[in-house]
């Protein structure tokens, strides 16, 4: 039986496009909320389950598996269609949430978070791909505004809800909440997503490549977690793990030239715009997610905030990030000089992070909070523009793969940042104190110095990101997407 050719996305009405995008974003909301709701509860989880030095893995485990599978989701969506892969991702995410909610130990919680990442990792890239299916690059600024709205809701509700649930209910309620939200997202999106064009292409999955990058990153994260705490940095175990991780990354880079369809296709990164945009996003994500993960930990351990108060303090930076993304997305709709605001925003973020590093521990909370808002606003201006620049530069037949690869690199920046910055603050022995939720006076000054180094490291990442961003060519946005080419 011959399959009917996929419908041309251009036959969709504007109302169809809007309904498809908005309901797909309901599924994306699960992953967006999960990135903001967990952070203020980290010290509480450490206090409940023990193993404070492993608290950063509650975040890292999610990003590690999410990063590794993101490119696979793009190709799976091309092979099996967007809808079944999207709903599979939601199902895996909910299963991971169930395990996390019932976790009796830190090890089980980290395993549950890793499973969550296997499901949630593809949701971001899949929704971006769906937008690419229904709208040409010049029109995508309109739909990026919807994404900014999703992030606004998650950013405002997540930190407050996570802090309140952790402090006044139980930290496990954070994960139980995902079960009804997942059911609601799937139920509301079934009918609108049935109108989604059935675009399929033959692909081969690079499972070996995904396992290689996951193993390399896992070894790197383990070395950063154990080094300077459980083992000296100069110990044979730590040096050996770092050496094997470096070798695995090199082997992975070589292997990407071998299979017919590698995890990160060299032909895609052969485009200068895609390569530079991905590198810029890698460094920007390192600054954004590293800062957002450890800022509430700083407030609880140094300023003595409770989990709910630290969650409330995250509102300012999160709203700043969403505001930057929203303004940037609206400028995208005009289609010209869309790179100017991200350049200005990156410079603003760089300056704010540097000042935070200078003043941390010596000024009031409100001064640090204001600088955090400016930092997040600047970083938020890049991400909608980066996605559209990559999709605009990619061949239409590579849309899913290119979007997945870009999201992969950006997520990898988050993983590396959380690990590196965690090693910096861990050098002050914070893992030994996190289970009690506060630092004693004798350890406070050492911890302040560690957080100062953390913010300076984030500023260096932002500086490199800005330098790369300024080198990216601002290509005219395509007005219409050519019909899919069947292979």
* Higher local confidence (pLDDT), 48 or 371: 371
Per-residue pLDDT at 480 exceeds 60: no
Give the per-residue pLDDT at 1.
Answer: 39
pLDDT tens across 172-228, in order? Answer: 999 999 899 888 888 877 777 777 666 656 667 777 887 888 788 778 877 876 776
Give the per-residue pLDDT at 351.
Answer: 92
- Asked if 230 and 61 count as a contact pair (C-beta separation under 8 A), the reply is no
pLDDT tens across 402-422, in order? Answer: 777 787 788 778 777 777 777
Mean pLDDT of 306-319: 78
Mean pLDDT of 80-107: 88
pLDDT tens across 363-407, in order? Answer: 888 888 898 899 889 888 887 788 888 888 887 777 767 777 787
- Give percent of the chain above pLDDT 70: 84
Per-residue pLDDT at 243 exceeds 80: yes
Mean pLDDT of 78-95: 84
Per-residue pLDDT at 3 exceeds 60: no
pLDDT tens across 112-162, in order? Answer: 998 998 888 778 777 777 777 777 666 666 666 677 677 667 766 777 788
Domain ranges across the chain: 11-191+259-469
- CATH classification of 11-191+259-469, choosing from 1.10.3720.10, 1.10.540.10, 1.20.810.10, 1.20.1250.20? 1.20.1250.20
Which band of pLDDT confidence, cut at 50, 70 and 90, is reported for residue 72?
Answer: confident
Task: Tell me how crowded residue 460 is: count the other CB atoms within 10 A of its CB.
Answer: 16
Mean pLDDT of 458-472: 91
Give the per-residue pLDDT at 463.
Answer: 92
Separation of alpha carbons 99 and 43, rounded Å: 20
Which band of pLDDT confidence, cut at 50, 70 and 90, is reported for residue 52?
Answer: low
Give the per-residue pLDDT at 368.
Answer: 87
Give the per-residue pLDDT at 432.
Answer: 52
pLDDT tens across 247-298, in order? Answer: 988 998 899 888 877 877 788 888 889 999 989 988 888 777 767 777 877 8
pLDDT tens across 444-457, in order? Answer: 777 788 888 888 88
State the chain's mean pLDDT as an integer: 78
pTM across the whole model: 0.70
Give the per-residue pLDDT at 228.
Answer: 67
Per-residue pLDDT at 436 exceeds 60: no
Give the per-residue pLDDT at 9.
Answer: 44
Mean pLDDT of 60-75: 76
Three-state secondary structure along the chain? CCCCCCCCHHHCCHHHHHHHHHHHHHHHHHHHHHHHHCHHHHHHHHHHHCCHHHCHHHHHHHHHHHHHHHHHHHHHHHHHCHHHHHHHHHHHHHHHHHHHHCCCCHHHHHHHHHHHHHHHHHHHHHHHHHHHHHCCHHHHHHHHHHHHHHHHHHHHHHHHHHHHHHHHHCCCHHHHCHHHHHHHHHHHHHHHHCCCCCCCCCCCCCHHHHHHHHHHHHHHHHHHHHECCCECCCCHHHHHHHHHHHHHHHHHHHHCCCCCCCCCCHHHHCCHHHHHHHHHHHHHHHHHHHHHHHHHHHHHHCCCCCHHHHHHHCHHHHHHHHHHHHHHHHHHCCCCCCCHHHHHHHHHHHHHHHHHHHHCCCCCHHHHHHHHHHHHHHHHCCHHHHHHHHHHHCCHHHHHHHHHHHHHHHHHHHHHHHHHHHHHHHCCCHHHHHHHCCCCHHHHHHHHHHHHHHHHHHHHHHHHHHHHHCCCCCCCCCCCCCCCCCC
Give the per-residue pLDDT at 10.
Answer: 46
Which band of pLDDT confidence, cut at 50, 70 and 90, is reported for residue 99?
Answer: very high
């Amino acid at each position: 039986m011959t399959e009917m050719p996929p419908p041309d996305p251009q036959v969709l009405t504007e109302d169809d496009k809007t309904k498809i995008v908005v309901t797909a974003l309901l599924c994306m909301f699960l992953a967006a909320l999960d990135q903001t709701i967990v952070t203020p509860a980290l010290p509480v989880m450490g206090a409940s389950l023990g193993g404070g030095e492993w608290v950063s893995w509650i975040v890292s485990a999610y990003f590690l598996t999410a990063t590794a599978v993101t490119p696979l989701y793009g190709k799976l969506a091309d092979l099996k269609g967007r809808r079944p892969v999207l709903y599979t991702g939601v199902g895996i995410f909910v299963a991971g949430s169930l395990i996390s909610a019932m976790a009796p130990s830190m090890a089980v919680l980290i395993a549950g978070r890793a499973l969550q990442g296997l499901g949630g990792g593809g949701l971001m890239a899949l929704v971006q791909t769906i937008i690419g299916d229904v709208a040409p690059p010049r029109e995508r600024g309109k739909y990026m505004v919807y994404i900014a709205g999703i992030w606004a809701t998650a950013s405002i509700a997540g930190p407050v809800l996570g802090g309140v649930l952790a402090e006044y209910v139980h930290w496990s309620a954070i994960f139980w909440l995902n079960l009804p939200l997942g059911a609601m997202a799937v139920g509301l999106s079934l009918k609108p997503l049935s109108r989604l064009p059935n675009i399929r292409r033959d692909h081969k999955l690079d499972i070996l490549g995904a396992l290689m990058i996951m193993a390399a990153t896992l070894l790197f994260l383990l070395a950063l977690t154990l080094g300077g705490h459980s083992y000296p940095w100069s110990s044979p175990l730590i040096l050996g793990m770092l050496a094997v991780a470096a070798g695995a990354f090199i082997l992975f880079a070589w292997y990407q030239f071998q299979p017919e369809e590698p995890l990160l296709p060299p032909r895609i990164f052969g485009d200068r715009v895609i390569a530079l945009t991905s590198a810029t996003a890698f460094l920007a994500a390192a600054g954004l997610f590293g800062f957002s993960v450890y800022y509430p930990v700083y407030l609880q351990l140094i300023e003595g905030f409770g989990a709910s108060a630290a969650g409330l303090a995250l509102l300012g930076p999160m709203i700043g990030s969403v505001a930057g993304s929203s303004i940037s997305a609206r400028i995208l709709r005009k289609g010209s000089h869309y790179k100017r605001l991200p350049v200005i925003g990156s410079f603003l973020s760089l300056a704010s992070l540097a000042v935070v590093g200078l003043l941390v521990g010596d000024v009031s909370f409100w001064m640090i909070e204001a600088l955090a808002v400016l930092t997040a606003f600047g970083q938020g201006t890049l991400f909608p523009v980066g996605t559209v620049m990559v999709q605009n530069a990619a061949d239409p037949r590579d849309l899913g793969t290119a979007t997945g690869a870009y999201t992969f690199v950006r997520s990898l920046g988050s993983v590396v940042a959380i690990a590196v910055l965690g090693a910096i603050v861990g050098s002050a022995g914070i893992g030994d104190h996190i289970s009690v939720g506060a630092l004693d006076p004798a350890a406070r000054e050492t911890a302040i110095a560690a957080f100062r180094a953390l913010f300076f490291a984030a500023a260096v990442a932002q500086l490199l990101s800005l330098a790369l961003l300024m080198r990216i060519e601002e290509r005219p946005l395509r007005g219409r997407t050519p019909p899919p080419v069947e292979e």
